[in-house]
Structure 1
C-alpha cells in the first residue's frame, strides 16, 4: 500500500526482449508500482513464457503483481499473479476456475457501465475503463469520460483502472475522478522510464481525489 490516491499499473511494450528486463527493473526501482501487465502479440505460449520469466522474477523481487494480458493458459503456465481479459478473451468464471481464487482477474470494459457491472457480478477483481485519451500503443476504438470513473467510484467498491494515452501531464483529472489505478505504457517506455515513474508519482500527489475521505 502507498499513500497515493491512485497507484501505477504498468503495461509492457510489445517488444520485451533485449535490454527490456533492465528497463523494467529501473522503472520499478524508481517508485511504487502496483502491477505490471505482460502484453505480447503473435507468440505461442512457449515463446511468450521464455520472455516473461525474467520479467516475472523482477516483479516478484519487488512485490509487484505480474499480470498476463489475454491468455489464461499462459497465466496458468507461469503461475502469474493474474490475468487481464479483453471482451473477447474468455469468461471471468472460467478463468477463476482455472487460475484459482487468489488470482487477480481484470476485465476491459471500455466505456460501458453495463460491461463493468457484468464483470463485477462474474467475480472480476478489477475493471478497466478507457481510452481516456488518444493512445500511442493501440488504436482508440472506445472513448471514456471522467464521469464514468466518478459514477463507478460512487457506487462500487471494486477497483477501477483508467487506461489509454495517460501521461503525467494529463493524469490529474483521472486521479481526482476516482481511478484506483493509472495504467501507463508508452508514457513510460517511450522515454526515460525512471523519470516517467517519478513524474507520475508527483502528478498523482498533486491531484488528491476529490471524493477521498482521507
Structure 2
C-alpha cells in the first residue's frame, strides 16, 4: 500500500489512554532573562519537553547559553532536546536531538547518543518520511506546520487526519507543530497528537506560566 492508498482511508480519531503533552520550542534569544522565563513556564508542570532551537550561533556560545537552561529542565524533570546538532547534543549530554530532514540520519544519531536518547524527526506532511523515520528508530515523528507560523515559516499544511492515521498504525508518538495556540489546538489533540509543540504561544506572552496553563484544558481532551 503506497501513500496515495493511505490518503484514501479515513482513520477514526484514537481513543486516548493518556492526555496530550506540551513540548516547548525555544525562541531565538535564550540569554538575558530567558532562563527565568523558562523556569516560570515549567513551574505549572504542564510541559514535558523543551527543545533548544537557536540558529546562527556557534557551538561554543550555544553550549554556554544552554547550561542554565539544561539545569532548569533537569530540576523540573523535563526532557532537554537539542535541535539539529548531534554534536552539540553529545557535548551537552542532552536528553535527545531533533533532526530536520537535512540534519542527519537517525541511526547515526542513535550510534552517537546511545539507546536512551530521545530522537525525533521532522516529517512535514509526508507519511512516507514518517514511516521511514519510524523504521530507522525514531522515538517520535513531528508533523506540521498545521497553522501559519512566523517561528519557522512552512508551506507544508498537513490535515489533522495525518495524526489519526499515524496513531492508528504506529505506536511511536507524534508531535503536532506550527502556529498552535490554546484556541486552535483542540482538533489536533482530538485527531491523536501525543505532543503539541509550541513557541510563540508561550514566549510571545508576558507571563509564560499563564501561557502554558492556558493549554491545560485542551491537552486533557
Q: 1:106-157 CA distances to partner (integer Å, 9 max, x unpaired)?
A: 0000000000000000010000000000012121221111110010011100
Contact 1:161/1:181 (<8 A) preserved: yes
- Residue 31 of structure 1 contacts residue 197 of structure 1 at CA under 8 Å; is this kept in 2? no
Deviates more, 1:139-148 or 1:84-93: 139-148
Q: What residue number does 2:156 align with?
A: 142
User: Secondary structure of 2:124's match?
Assistant: coil
Tell me the TM-score normalized by structure 2: 0.90
Q: Cα RMSD between the aligned structures?
A: 1.0
CA distance in 2, matches of 1:32, 1:197: 7
Aligned to 1:165: 179
Equivalent-residue separation in structure 1 for 2:156 and 2:44 (angstroms):
32
Alignment of 1:2-151 (within 5 A): 5-151=19-165
Q: How far is the alpha carbon of 1:44 from its aligned partner?
A: 1.6
- 1:4 is displaced (CA, Å) by 5.5
Task: Render the CA deviation track for 1:161-196: whole Å, top value 9, x for unaligned.
Answer: 000000000001110000000000000000021111
Pairwise CA distance, 1:31: 2.8
Contact 1:4/1:204 (<8 A) preserved: no
Number of matched residues?
204
Of 172, 181, 186, the residue aligned with 2:200 is 186
- Mapped partners of 2:169, 2:153: distance in 1: 30
Q: Indicate whether 1:203 and 2:218 are aligned.
A: yes
| 4+ aligned runs moved over 6 Å, structure 1 | none
Q: Contact 2:189/2:218 (CA < 8 Å) preserved in 1?
A: no
Deviation digits for residues 65-92 of structure 1 (CA, Å, limit 9, x no counterpart): 0000000000000000000000000000
Are the structure 2 counterparts of residues 14 and 4 from structure 1 closer, same or farther at C-alpha, using a change threshold of 3 Å?
Answer: farther
Larger displacement relative to structure 2 (26-35 or 62-71): 26-35
